[in-house]
Chain A
Amino acid sequence: MTPEEIIKPENLVYGRTKVLTDNIMHYCPGCSHGVIHKLIAEVIEEMGIQDTTVGVSPVGCSVFAYNYLDIDWQEAAHGRACAVATAIKRLNPETNVFTYQGDGDMAAIGTAETIHACNRGENIVIFFVNNAIYGMTGGQMAPTTLIGMKTVTCPYGRNTDLNGFPLVISDILAKLDGTCYVTRQSVHTNAATIKAKKAIRKAFENAQAKKGTSVVEFVSACNTGWKKTPIEANAWMEEHMFPKYPLGDIKDTVKGSQLSDEEKNAKY
């Protein structure tokens, strides 16, 4: 096939989703955010929900997520995305509401909002990008930073006496009665990306079916913060991040399914 033939519309096999805007992304080359944005945008287009979806962007590198997806957005205060999303969904039950949060937003400053939105079983989707570091503010320790991992606020490596332990927030959220689907994905290979996209779609469908809160964690690379090349960062992620944050579904059910009808309708 000649290049002229390849670019003919009838030979098109892959296109850029219209849900992505034309804005040039500010993310570092090698960062996972761009891929995750694209996957969410593709799912929104494929599900035909661009007009009914509201995103809540966090504070962190992805604070400007609203520049890249052509949907309505609210920019929340640091850690408060799940509270904001709760109100949007409760007041507009027909909308598809998701938060997009980093590890600091979700599992440090916003732990209470995250846990309680999940515990109420809000019919929202939480996208959680876990790269074990604070990228935007210059590479400080995150709640998910690995033991021994160096950041600018633990320059000699995370020490458990000084800094405690990596917070495996998705495992905690999976234990709550309000969550229906908790999964851990990555986007560092084509195969992983295909799986991640399926998880994104499933999460949106769960919310539409009022099954409860869905959490999709993306174990991600921050090659800039980790001070590595993109390829080195992906290899480092496989070697060190995946053992602590193993990929796969943690939970797949319907909210409150652990309880009997009698327990759910109890009155004292």
Chain B
Amino acid sequence: MAEEVKLMKGNEAIAHAAIRCGCDGYFGYPITPQSEVMETLMAQKPWETTGMVVLQAESETSSINMVYGGAACGKKVMTSSSSPGVSLMQEGVSYIACAELPCLIVNVMRGGPGLGTIQPSQGDYFQTTKGGGHGDYRLITLSPSTVQEMADFVGLGFDLAFKYQTPSVLLADGVIGQMMEKIVLPDFKPRRTDEEVRKECPWGTMGKNGRKDRNVVTSLALESEVMQETNNRLQAKYKAIEENEVRFEEHNCEDAEYVFVAFGSVARICESAMEILRAEGHKVGVLRPITLWPFPTKEIQRLTKQVKGFMDVELNCGQMVEDVRLAVNGQVPVGFYGRQGGIIPTAEEIAEAFKAQMVK
């Protein structure tokens, strides 16, 4: 069968990928610049085909708690929102992480803080990779840089979430959400039957159904020792994720003297900046973290032995650059160039910023 190539927005790709990967339920609340996710789902009416539930909630608070309810059944459930809406979800995200439930949370970032702007941003790196809600937890964070990856990371996000029983976040900047590109949609995968769900998630709460013991999903542990045990179990899981799930992409890093570190749409502009700089004789490469957590710390440490410096570029005031600096640990200079308010830097601006900061 010939590949089915479509032209669509990143947000639309997420909706189609969700239906195709056997998602059981989507719960969301409209917010720019990600509203096309729910709009596409509602137009597709998957409840008539795959049986997927799609529900517009009264708030993001409600959406994420619907996700909690569905995930605690063992179902494959997701939500999507943009920055201010994701802030509103943080209580629920912390509960889901503590209760060790799998789910997918899509954040198509816009500029903040506050109501901010509806224009693209990468300002939620801290919120997503460092916690966001209360308590000690981490979120698997996938950062797409193409519309194709928007679709591909829906399935991957769910796979990782179920593998580790923890929430995955698809953290896209508004550029990728709104941009149209050619894409090959993933193949259809049927939704699991309830029997399959019970087998895969024996802890799920869909009713005892003949089970001897009742299942209880909770994030409450009033006894100190039990809570500490919960914390230890979570940390062990996070360590395993850090060891096994780091993903990144490199361009021209083999002979690089300088390496751009950038994620999402900006990584693509950095590739163009790299070409400009290479043409001028600067040996520049690009490292694009695909998982923002777990962060490719070891790869940056490996490159630190080879390069004269790193240049971090982000659509914010400097967030991921802190993780780059932690990895580099002062051994080589780390420059930073950021734009805010939805302003997307050109490749030329990035190249100029690189030369001004790194080439003395």
A residues adjacent to B (C-beta < 8 A)? 50-54, 56, 63, 66, 70-77, 80, 83-88, 90-92, 95-96, 112-113, 116
Contacts and interface: CB of A to CB of B under 8 A. Distances in A.
A87 B63 CA distance: 9
Contacts of B147: none
B59 A76 contact: no
Complex A-B, nearest 3 residue pairs according to Cβ-Cβ distance, in ascending order? A87-B69, A75-B218, A84-B69
Contacts of A73: 205, 214-218
B208 A83 contact: no
Contacts of A53: 207
A95 B207 contact: yes
B15 interface: no
Given A72-B214, A73-B214, A86-B55, A51 B208 contact: yes
A85 B209 contact: no
Interface stretch (B71-79, B110-118, B258-266, B338-346): B71-79
A99 to B, nearest CB: 10
Among B25, B53, B205, chain A packs the most CB atoms within 10 A around the CB of B205
B70 A88 contact: yes
A50 to B, nearest CB: 7
B206 A70 contact: no
6 contacts: A66-B216, A66-B218, A74-B217, A87-B25, A87-B55, A90-B55
Contacts of A88: 69-70, 72-73, 205-206
Contact of A72 (B57, B65, B207): B207
B24 interface: yes
B91 interface: yes
Contacts, number: 125
Contacts of A85: 69
A178 B236 CA distance: 46
A87 B78 CA distance: 11
Contacts of A63: 220
A88 B71 CA distance: 9
B86 to A, nearest CB: 16
B214 A91 contact: no
A3 B149 CA distance: 75
Given A75-B220, A90-B53, 15 more contacts: A52-B209, A63-B220, A66-B218, A73-B215, A73-B216, A74-B72, A76-B68, A76-B69, A83-B62, A84-B66, A87-B77, A88-B72, A90-B25, A92-B194, A113-B61
B345 to A, nearest CB: 40
A80 B207 contact: no
Interface in B275-310: none
B137 interface: no
A137 to B, nearest CB: 14
Contact of B206 (A84, A92, A113, A116): A92
Contact of B58 (A66, A91, A113): A113
B92 interface: yes
Contacts of A71: 207-208, 214
Nearest to B57: A83
A72 B216 contact: yes
A112 B62 contact: yes
B330 interface: no
A211 B72 CA distance: 26
A91 B215 contact: no
A216 B191 CA distance: 35
Interface in B76-133: 77, 91-92, 95
B70 A80 contact: no
Contacts of A113: 58, 61-62, 65
Among B69, B206, B208, chain A packs the most CB atoms within 10 A around the CB of B69
Contacts of A75: 216-220
Given A73-B217, A80-B92, A90-B55, A51 B207 contact: yes
Nearest to B219: A75
Nearest to B25: A91
B172 interface: no
B19 interface: no
Nearest to A119: B58
B27 interface: yes
A160 to B, nearest CB: 29
B66 A86 contact: yes
Given A77-B65, A84-B66, A112-B59, A54 B207 contact: yes
B145 to A, nearest CB: 32
Nearest to B92: A77
Among B24, B59, B65, B217, chain A packs the most CB atoms within 10 A around the CB of B65
Given A77-B95, A87-B27, A91-B53, A51 B209 contact: yes
A54 B219 CA distance: 17
A170 B72 CA distance: 29
Contacts of A72: 205-208, 214-216
B66 to A, nearest CB: 4
A116 B62 contact: yes
A73 B66 CA distance: 15
Contacts of A95: 206-207
Contacts of A83: 57, 61-63, 65-66, 69
Contacts of B205: 54, 72-74, 88
